[in-house]
Amino acid sequence: MERYRVVKEVGDGTCGCVYKALNLETNEIVAIKKMKRKFYFWEECINLREVKSLRKMNHPNIVKLKEIVRENHELFFIFEYMECNLYQIMRDRQNSFTEGEIRSFMSQILQGLAYMHKNGYFHRDLKPENLLVTNDIIKIADFGLAREVMSKPPYTDYVSTRWYRAPEVLLHSSSYTPAIDVWAVGAIMAELFTLSPLFPGESETDQIYKICTVLGTPDRSIWPEVMDLSRSVNFRFFQIPPANLSDVIPNASLEAVDLILQLCSWDPQRRPTAEQSLQHPFFHVGTWVPYPLRDPFYAKINETGPKPKLELNLWDFGTESDDCFLGLTLAVKPSITNIDVNDASQHSREEFLFCSGYQENPRHSVFWPLISSNGSMNDGPTMPSLSSSYLVNRNCSDFYGESKLAVGSFGTRP
């Protein structure tokens, strides 16, 4: 450890102390986690869950383990340095986060979590203290309780800080899933809006009560396993109706409220995965979505005027025995009753869709009149306008031959 000079202590946890330090060889600022227990064998070190999990993961939203050092039976983890944790930011915050800031934090947390779950681990202790932040970049840290997704139950029922502990863990389920991480993320998201915990229970029983005051009492229709779990620990639920989460978190949008409710579903099977959560509308609010491309004639049709007609024409080519061409055109044949058609009025010729490209049979080019110069239209059922863009630069392969049809132009808490 002679290569590092400790600058200051930045944290003290159950398993170890964290220091800010300087790498004397590279002048890089790093974080050093000194484990409190002694390690007499190297095999003990590399078999730690924190080591096994972090050695397998490399993601911009998961803190990077740079080096492991064992010296005089003491174990040190060298991490990339992060300025603070999310709890410190919320504690020192004077005003609420904007929804855009929350969206950015949540997107990063869920991306890191999705990567973690995909690579076979779930965290089991997600909370604001374990989310490290530097320059609006947030990273998941402290993998001391991490476990493999494919590991076999029973799992310990004391995981995660109480305020972020999923109900199935509170009811001592021994076969919980990575969905417990998703619950914690939902509780953290709500806290980002209010700057106070959503479920601040003072004991496990009080924790369940706090959850009920927000989500209401669950029954079999909401969570099929709830009665079996509650009976196994001799627990009786409080009969409380659900609160309006929009009243609990008044500064949250409807999309944010909906996402929190999904993440904090009583039934773990109803919670979306981290990857699915990223597809929620909350993360697409304000995303520019272009209007559908419109028929150039559409703007000139009044609300009561006739709608364009959809015509389908099938063309049979070939007069010789070895000819096997089949042409198909699908296009809008608009009504021109209330349309000012410049081309039709300024040119003596008709406007056509030019269907050709039959290289071997150039003589079989076909012209189909899109707008009749005399304004006459055949009767037929009206249909919504089809964008003219669908009639531009579209090439469709023929079923036969090579011919193509071109259709016209991160303190400690409970």
Residues identified as active-site = 125
Cβ–Cβ under 8 Å, residues 328 and 296: no
139 Cβ contact list (under 8 Å, min separation 6):
60, 61, 62, 63, 82, 108, 112, 131, 132, 133, 410
Cα–Cα distances (Å) from 119 to 55, 58, 234, in that order, read 11, 10, 37
Q: What are the DSSP calls for 359-414, one per residue?
A: TT-GGG-EEEEEE-TT-------B-PPPPGGGGSSEEEE-SSSS-EEEE-------
Q: Which amino acid is at 257?
A: V
- Residue 283 phi/psi, 5-degree rounding, is -85, 0
The C-alpha atoms of residue 360 and residue 357 are separated, in whole angstroms, by 9
66 Cβ contact list (under 8 Å, min separation 6):
30, 78, 79, 80
